[in-house]
Chains A and B, each alone.
Chain A
Amino acid sequence: MTLTVARTTNRPPAPDAPAIPGPRLLAHMHPPGVVSGTWQSLAEHRTRYPRPPTPRAKPWTELIDAADQAGLRGRGGAGFPTAVKMRTVSRGRGRPVVLANGTEGEPASYKDKLLLTYQPHLVLDGALLAAAAVGADRVVIGVEQTAPDALAAMGRALAERASVEPAGIPVDVVATPAGYVTGEETALVQFVNGGPALPTTAPPRPFEKGVGKRPTLVQNVETLAHVAQIARNGAAWFRQSGTPDEPGTALVTVTGAVVRAGVIEVPMGTPLETIIERAGPVGRWAAALVGGFFGTWVPAAQFNLPFSRAGLAPAGASPGAGIVIVLPHGACGLSETARIMAWYAGETAGQCGPCIFGLPALAGEMAALSHGPVPAQGLGRLQRWASEVEGRGACKHPDGAVRVLRSALRAFPHDVERHLQGQPCGGSFALPVIPVPRAARNPAGR
């Protein structure tokens, strides 16, 4: 998969861009003048992030309580309360395992790779503390094999720790095959267990029976970095940023029609507009795909909404894994969506019928809408298929496809009307704005 995001976090913001307070995970990268791409050695890391407190008990329920009071939610997309998952795993049947999910299959996302590459020790701190919290005796870190920098940084960080700060429990880095569904937690668990990186029928969910059939805490790597911060600074400190309901900061990958594509760290609830302005706009905006390929189109008229679950709800959107792809004025959101739908069809795991057949059908229908000829039945069949595909896979892959498709129809109603009349907008013949990687997998039918 090609990386679509430049590493430009160190560039100074546009002169008129509003200030965004207090980065925490990327504190060493944000000040202007700092050279980007500095890998943090353990010694350097410890000057900025002192060694976290040593757990007093196993399981270390105090840390679970702190995560609870901090109101930390997962940063991998679903936004599930971290403490609830930790508590369930710690009380499960058998010795727990911590599985740090750094696979980041979402094509527009770069924040996890950034964190793994430049802050590997912060992720390791978090993973080991989470292991202590749930009483785990093993940590596995999943990183996509197409991210060699992240893999190398993790390997180096672990080697460095072995002599200075031994983890006390085995920590393995697992290179996962490329592919969107690889990062789905049941797929990741099955791969770590020696099987194919494909989703499995749930229940049982990984928190009941995961790696080695043991209760498994699957957490996104950014979430674990926040856990490390909470262990060190406490829940009250964590809540100084963000909103009361969704505290803390989040890493956001901003791409598309912006000058400084890259990852920025913002308090939860920062207006969408502020995030986009910070990345430097290119001309006027039409909309943004918020949450990435698994996300929702938000028209520019709603850019005043706060970037949080509650804040984006009026647009039917959510932060997802922290992604904003900006579509410039004049581009065709329907054509962009058609290409994303083709990608979804190619990225199916090829296991469930409605996904294997439904996604290519939806992609074909969307391609027809973007370039014509529009089928005689208009949108009727498209909408029927969308509702029939939704919720009928073992994982949420088809649901994501349906969500982005429906949001396109909602966000670009005038375009839909004109396309249906056989007058596609000029932008539908222009070059794509959103880079769509070639699908890593081919369902190949069965």
Chain B
Amino acid sequence: MARDTETLEVEPIACVGHGVCAELLPEWIRLDDWGYPIIRKEAIPPELMVQAKWAVSNCPALALHLRRKKA
């Protein structure tokens, strides 16, 4: 049975480039030359889920979100 998957998305208007997310989840998020996150578009692998949630809840601008995609 296929499971729902989740992706990480940033709200570009809300993001001001603190860079916390890339510190907490370097496997999935890197920063561009101006300090804004570039996030991989694929579903987050289960082993990174805890760090992903951690990154979401620690974004100072509340700009990072998990989006559930139906299987």
Contacts and interface: CB of A to CB of B under 8 A. Distances in A.
Nearest to B39: A392
A388 interface: yes
B12 A353 contact: yes
Contact of B32 (A354, A393, A394): A354
Interface string A342-361: 00000000011111111001
Contacts of A354: 12, 32, 34, 36
Interface in B6-41: 11-17, 32-36, 38
A423 interface: no
Contact of B12 (A361, A388, A393, A446): A393
A354 B17 CA distance: 10
A392 B38 contact: yes
Interface string A149-191: 0000000000000000000000000000000000000000000
Q: Which of the four size classes fits the interface of chain B?
A: 10 to 19
Contacts of B36: 353-354, 357, 392
A385 B33 contact: yes
Interface hub of B11, B17, B32 (most chain A Cβ within 10 A): B32
Contacts of A356: 34
Given A353-B36, A361-B33, 12 more contacts: A351-B13, A353-B17, A354-B36, A357-B33, A357-B34, A357-B36, A358-B34, A385-B33, A388-B38, A393-B12, A394-B12, A446-B16
B13 A352 contact: yes
7 contacts: A201-B12, A352-B15, A353-B16, A354-B12, A392-B12, A392-B38, A394-B12
Interface of B: 11-17, 32-36, 38
B35 A353 contact: yes
B13 A394 contact: yes
Nearest to B38: A388
A358 B32 contact: yes
A201 B34 contact: no
A352 B12 contact: yes
Contacts of B32: 354, 358, 388
B14 A201 contact: yes
A351 B12 contact: yes
A386 to B, nearest CB: 12
A353 B15 contact: yes
A358 B17 CA distance: 13
- Please indicate which of the listed interface residues B16, B17, B36 has the most CB atoms of chain A within 10 Å of its own CB: B36
Nearest to B11: A201
Q: Which of A351, A358, A392, A446 has the most CB of B within 10 A?
A: A392
A110 to B, nearest CB: 31
Contacts of A358: 32, 34
A361 B35 CA distance: 14
Interface in A345-396: 351-358, 361, 385, 388, 392-394
A200 interface: yes
B32 to A, nearest CB: 5
A201 B12 CA distance: 8
A394 B35 CA distance: 17
A345 to B, nearest CB: 13
A213 B16 CA distance: 27
Contacts of A388: 32-33, 38
Contacts of A351: 12-13
Interface in A406-446: 446
Interface in A192-231: 199-201
A61 B40 CA distance: 43
Nearest to A351: B13
Q: 5 tightest CB-CB pairs across the interface, nearest first?
A: A357-B34, A352-B12, A353-B36, A351-B13, A394-B13
A392 B15 CA distance: 11
Contacts of A200: 13
